[in-house]
């Protein structure tokens, strides 16, 4: 049994068929957590779709209407890079509901994980890079509107820069954005986050972990947030098809632990999302994401001194 809740819905799967984005991974991660005895059925919560009013706190009415009416232009569909259908739209609304629920449960228990989410390329007025709705931004705005939090931090470890996140929160002093990513990769250009760590091609475990820790220490000097939303991308992996960093599976789990341990020492709740993962072997992507849950479990069970906010 896990010491926190995991958010999952069978309809997270976008059913993309032969696509570089393996959306079947959500079910595979869920099944692996059960099969390996890491989680029990009682550890899972099923989200509902985010209310349209929550989506509209982040995305423009014109864009949301296009999604609801299936009226994106051809260029907008090409930029999104995945089909728009009732199934995919529902999956993104569920992912946003799942990240919001993960935020609520993290505030209660210290940790929570959504087995979807981390769609950090979505902008207020358009989607891109497989990201239709910015679930993390929706969750932050929902929690703020409910009076559950005032401040939040996003720690984004996807191999690709969190451009949508940076754009959405550009002038918002209540949300601190950190992105560690491969500099020479999509997207171009990269709007500035509060803390950007652009890494050289081929960066390996030790250099990556050192840069991440320095970035976290700088971020915590600027803000001690009410909650961290952790975007745990699997795509810094050395066998990823859309990435050019060189982290091992073991290094990626150390990355997760590093973030969780820093947060735990400061008494900051963490809600984690999956984000990208395009390994040549889908099993590797699944293992990396399962390891994030294991890292959260292990850190949650550790004894730390009282938070020093």
Structure tokens, 56: 């509209």
- Distance between CA 121 and CA 165 in Å, rounded? 7
Q: Which residues contact 111 (CB under 8 A, 6 or more apart)?
A: 3, 4, 260, 269, 270, 271, 272, 296, 299, 300
* Paired sense of beta strands 44-45 and 5-7, if any: parallel
The Cα 94–Cα 173 span in angstroms is 28
Using CA atoms, how far apart are residues 225 and 215, in angstroms rounded to an integer? Answer: 15
CA separation, residue 278 to residues 163, 194, 286, 298 (Å): 19, 27, 10, 26
What would the two tokens of residue 267 be?
């008494």
Assess contact for 160 and 81: CB atoms under 8 A. no
Per-residue model confidence (pLDDT) at position 308: 53
Mean pLDDT by 10 residues, the chain (309 residues): 97 89 95 98 98 98 98 97 95 98 98 98 98 98 98 98 98 97 96 98 98 98 98 97 98 98 97 95 98 98 67
What are the structural domains, with CATH classification, of the chain? Answer: 5-301 (3.40.800.20)
110: left (phi over 0), alpha (psi -120 to 50) or beta: left
- At 22-73, the pLDDT tens digits run 999 999 999 999 999 999 999 999 999 999 999 999 999 999 999 999 999 9
Which residues does 238 contact at the CB level (< 8 Å), separation at least 6? 245, 246, 247, 248
Q: What is the pLDDT of residue 306?
A: 55
Pair of tokens at residue 105: 């449960």
Contacts of 279 (CB under 8 A, 6+ apart): 234, 235, 237, 239, 240, 241, 285, 288
Tell me, what's the pLDDT at 15?
83
- For the stretch 203-224, pLDDT in tens is 999 999 999 999 999 999 999 9
Q: How far apart are CA 116 and CA 95, in angstroms?
A: 6
């Amino acid at each position: 049994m896990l010491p926190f809740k995991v958010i999952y819905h069978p309809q997270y799967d976008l059913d993309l068929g032969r696509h570089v984005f393996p959306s079947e991974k959500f079910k595979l991660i869920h099944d692996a957590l059960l099969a390996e005895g890491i989680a029990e059925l009682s550890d899972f919560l099923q989200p509902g779709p985010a209310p349209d009013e929550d989506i509209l706190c982040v995305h423009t009415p014109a864009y949301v209407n296009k999604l609801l009416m299936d009226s994106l232009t051809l260029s907008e569909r090409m930029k999104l890079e995945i089909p728009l259908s009732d199934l995919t739209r529902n999956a993104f609304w569920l992912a946003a509901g799942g990240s919001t629920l993960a935020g609520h449960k993290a505030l209660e228990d210290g940790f929570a994980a959504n087995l979807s989410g981390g769609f950090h390329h979505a902008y207020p007025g358009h989607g891109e890079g497989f990201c239709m709705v910015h679930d993390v931004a929706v969750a932050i705005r929902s929690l703020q509107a409910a009076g559950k939090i005032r401040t939040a931090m996003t720690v984004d470890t996807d191999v690709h820069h969190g451009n949508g996140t940076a754009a959405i929160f550009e002038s918002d002093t209540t949300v601190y954005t950190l992105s560690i990513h491969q500099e020479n990769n999509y997207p171009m250009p990269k709007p500035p986050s509060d803390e950007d760590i652009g890494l050289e091609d081929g960066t390996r475990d030790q250099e990556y972990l050192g840069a991440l820790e320095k970035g976290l220490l700088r971020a915590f000097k600027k803000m001690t947030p009410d909650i961290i939303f952790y975007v745990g991308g699997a795509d810094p992996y050395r066998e990823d098809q859309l990435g050019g960093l060189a982290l091992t599976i073991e290094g990626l789990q150390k990355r997760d632990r590093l973030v969780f341990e820093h947060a735990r020492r400061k008494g900051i709740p963490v809600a984690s999302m999956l984000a990208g993962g395009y390994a040549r072997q889908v099993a590797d992507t699944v293992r990396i994401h399962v390891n994030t849950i294991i890292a959260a479990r292990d850190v949650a069970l550790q004894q730390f001194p009282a938070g020093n906010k």
